[in-house]
A = this chain, B = another copy of it.
Amino acid sequence: MSDAVTIEVGLGARAYQIRIGKGLVAKAGSEIAALKPGARTAIVTDENVASRHLETLTQGLAEASIAATPIILPAGEKTKSYAMLERVVEGLIAAKLERNDLVIAFGGGVIGDLAGFAAGIARRGMPFVQMPTSLLAQVDSSVGGKTGINSPQGKNLVGLFNQPKLVLADTDVLDTLSLREFRAGYAEVAKYGLIDRPDFFTWLEKNWREVFAGGAARTEAIAQSCRAKADVVARDEFETGDRALLNLGHTFGHALEAATAYDSSRLVHGEGVAIGMALAHRFSSRLNLASPDDAARVEAHLQAVGLPYRISDIPGSLPPAEKLFEYITQDKKVTRGALTFILTRGIGQSFIAKDVPQSEVLAFLKDNLAE
């Protein structure tokens, strides 16, 4: 695996490695044999990923004599549900995996979140490996141990902190991802620049075309993103502080996802985050925290790569501001009634604002919906 980049997630007894490189799906057998000699596996995946890459993975595992039971689910955000959780858990139990065996989450963020959660509760916990196949999952959801499903009352409201034993990110599999999904993942890449790495954001403004094209710049962008995330997670595994910064763009984004009923034909998670980040910068400038130029710079970059950045970029009609606001207060970043937002003082200068006046948020939403 000489050409793979390895990043350490420093979490003491729960520490693990992220390996990023070409052809890792085909080489998964030796990686997993090294991690857990003698393990059997169950592969949780979705129909899109299965049709393109499951055979490569099962063959790769078979070469190392690793048995694999596939559990194939429908694709899409709606799969992060109680019903699918039950299906995966029952599938893992039926596969008779034992404590030395491994669950492999092989797919985008939906599969990673769902399978990681299911692995955490089937027989009170089975070890699992993340094999993210979307850009979003490679740079974000597969790292850090947040797993879960959606509640009818809001996104990601049910789940666990459950760290994987290993993350294997094969950069080649991204070639079968649609451009739209690649862009959505890119929103999370840009996020790390906007949180606290202004130089990375500047680098992305110059090199985003190469990241989309593949090759060294793509690997570099993924590795930088994973390093950024691993740093934050190592400082604050259970999100009692700093880790909340990773939610930049997500409070607005989750509300928009809820408002579009998680209908991916209208909005996917990364797109919601893109619009949410633009809104967070605009809102910060409206509150006189950041310069309007910075907000404009963020919007210009999102527009350049082809991402939506305004609420009006979402096709179809949206609920009124009051309803969007309700989705926001249902979200989990509420502490004793006060609204917590990730705001910014400029590019790469995000911070956790704990006392954002509810009236300001509502007025801001109204203006943006009227736009």
Contact = CB atoms under 8 A, between A and B. Distances in A.
A121 B158 contact: yes
Contact of A90 (B124, B152, B334, B335): B152
Contact of A123 (B82, B94, B98, B332): B332
Nearest to A156: B124
A151 to B, nearest CB: 6
28 contacts: A82-B82, A82-B86, A89-B151, A90-B152, A90-B153, A93-B151, A93-B153, A93-B158, A94-B153, A98-B334, A98-B335, A98-B336, A99-B335, A100-B336, A117-B121, A121-B148, A121-B159, A121-B160, A122-B157, A122-B158, A123-B157, A123-B158, A123-B332, A124-B148, A124-B158, A124-B159, A124-B161, A160-B160
A237 to B, nearest CB: 12
A120 interface: yes
Interface of A: 82, 86, 89-90, 93-94, 96, 98-100, 117, 120-125, 146, 148, 151-154, 157-161, 332, 334-336
Given A93-B158, A98-B334, A123-B332, 17 more contacts: A82-B86, A90-B152, A90-B153, A93-B153, A93-B154, A96-B334, A99-B335, A117-B121, A120-B160, A121-B148, A123-B158, A124-B148, A124-B158, A124-B160, A125-B160, A125-B161, A160-B160
A103 to B, nearest CB: 14
Contacts of A86: 82
A101 to B, nearest CB: 10
Contacts of A100: 336
Contacts of A161: 124-125
A74 B221 CA distance: 53
Nearest to A240: B99
Nearest to A145: B124
A301 to B, nearest CB: 32
A183 B100 CA distance: 38
A122 B120 CA distance: 14
Contacts of A332: 123
Nearest to A336: B98
A332 B153 CA distance: 34
A151 B121 CA distance: 11
A89 B160 CA distance: 13
Nearest to A120: B160
A56 to B, nearest CB: 28
